[in-house]
C-alpha cells in the first residue's frame, strides 16, 4: 500500500531521501566530519571535505562540535548534538575514539579527517556491508515543495531505520578571533545546522511532501536526508542518503520553522 502525506504547520518537516537525479543518484558514501574552529588540526580536514564535494558519489557533511570551546574560542557553528552523535558512534564501534578532525563513513568506519587515503579506505571498508546505501529513494524539489518517495521492501530487504532531515549551509566562511586558529578565516562545507527526526521506515512504500518555506531559514540553502539503521543513541549503517539544493528564499518574510526536538 502506498501512503501519501502532506506535512505542514509547526512541525514543518519532510521525509526526503535518496536518488535525486539532480543530486547524488547513486551515493557511494556519507562522510561526516567532526570538526572544530578551535582545533589547529582541523583546517586541513575542512579543506579536504570541500574537495570531496566535487565527487558526486560522496555526501560530505560538516558536524562542528563544542568540546574544544574551553580553549578560548567558542565554535560559532557547533551543535551539542554533534558531540553526542560522535560519542554514540564511538560506543557503537566499541573503540571509544573521539577526536577532531574525525570522519565517520557510512555510519560504520572512522578515519582521520585530513587523510584522503584513509577516508577512501574507510569508504571501501564500509561497502562490505550489504545494506549500506542500498535503499533507492526519490526526492524532487519543485513548486515550492519537496516531495519524497520511499520504496516498498519486503523480506530480508525490509531492514528498517530512522529518517533524519538536515538543513544545510553549503558554504560558510568564519573569521576566528581567538584560540589555536586565531586570525584565520576558514570555509566550512555542507554545515549541518540542525537535525530533525522525521520518523522510521520499515519497508512500506510512502510519499511525503512539505512546503520549502517550512524548513528554510537564513543561511539554509540545501538539505541532506539520511536513512540510518539503529537509533540516535546507537547509530548504525547508512541505508541511504541524498543531498538537494533549495531555491532562494522569496521576498516575503519567513519565520523559522518550529521543528520537533532532535539532536
**Residue 69 pLDDT:** 95
Compute the distance between CA of residue 29 and CA of residue 31 in angstroms, rounded to an integer: 6
Compute the distance between CA of residue 42 and CA of residue 79 in angstroms, rounded to an integer: 17
C-beta separation of 241 from 227 below 8 A = yes
pTM (two decimals): 0.85
Q: Any idea what DSSP says for residue 179?
A: S
Half-sphere exposure for 50 (CA within 13 Å, toward CB): 15
Compute the distance between CA of residue 157 and CA of residue 128 in angstroms, rounded to an integer: 16
**Residue 101 pLDDT:** 98
Q: Which residues of the chain have pLDDT under 50?
A: 1-24, 250-261
C-beta separation of 218 from 154 below 8 A = no
**Residue 11 pLDDT:** 30
**Residue 261 pLDDT:** 40
Say how many C-beta atoms besides its own lie within 10 A of residue 29's C-beta. Answer: 27
Compute the distance between CA of residue 184 and CA of residue 177 in angstroms, rounded to an integer: 8
Using CB atoms within 10 Å of the CB of residue 197, give its burial: 0 to 12 exposed, 13 to 18 middle, 19+ buried.
middle
**Residue 19 pLDDT:** 32
The interaxial angle of helices 116-126 and 42-52, nearest 10 deg, is 60
C-beta separation of 58 from 243 below 8 A = no
Q: Which residues contact 237 (CB under 8 A, 6 or more apart)?
A: 106, 107, 108, 126, 129, 131, 132, 228, 229, 230
**Residue 240 β-bridge partners:** 227
Amino acid at each position: 500500500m502506498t501512503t501519501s502525506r502532506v506535512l505542514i504547520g509547526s512541525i514543518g518537516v519532510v521525509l526526503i531521501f535518496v536518488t535525486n537525479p539532480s543530486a547524488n543518484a547513486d551515493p557511494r558514501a556519507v562522510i561526516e566530519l567532526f570538526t572544530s574552529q578551535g582545533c589547529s588540526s582541523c583546517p586541513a580536514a575542512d579543506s579536504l571535505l570541500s574537495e570531496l564535494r566535487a565527487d558526486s558519489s560522496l555526501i560530505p557533511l560538516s558536524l562542528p562540535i563544542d568540546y574544544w570551546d574551553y580553549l578560548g574560542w567558542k565554535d560559532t557553528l557547533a551543535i551539542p548534538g554533534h558531540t553526542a552523535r560522535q560519542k554514540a558512534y564511538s560506543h557503537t564501534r566499541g573503540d571509544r575514539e573521539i577526536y577532531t578532525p574525525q570522519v565517520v563513513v557510512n555510519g560504520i568506519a572512522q578515519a582521520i579527517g585530513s587523510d584522503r587515503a584513509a577516508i577512501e579506505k574507510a569508504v571501501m571498508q564500509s561497502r562490505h556491508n550489504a545494506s549500506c546505501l542500498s535503499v533507492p529513494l526519490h526526492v524532487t524539489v519543485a513548486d515550492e515543495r519537496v516531495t519524497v518517495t520511499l520504496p516498498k521492501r519486503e523480506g530480508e530487504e525490509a531492514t528498517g531505520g530512522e529518517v533524519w532531515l538536515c538543513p544545510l549551509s553549503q558554504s560558510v566562511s568564519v573569521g576566528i578571533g581567538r584560540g589555536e586558529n586565531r586570525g584565520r578565516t576558514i570555509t566550512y562545507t555542507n554545515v549541518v545546522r540542525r537535525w530533525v527526526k522525521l520518523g522510521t521506515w520499515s519497508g512500506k512504500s510512502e510519499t511525503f511532501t512539505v512546503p520549502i518555506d517550512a524548513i528554510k531559514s537564513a543561511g539554509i540553502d540545501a538539505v541532506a536526508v539520511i536513512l540510518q539503521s539503529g537509533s540516535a543513541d546507537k547509530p548504525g549503517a547508512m541505508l541511504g542518503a541524498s543531498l538537494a539544493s533549495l531555491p532562494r528564499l522569496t521576498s516575503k518574510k519567513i519565520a523559522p520553522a518550529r521543528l520537533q526536538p532532535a539532536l
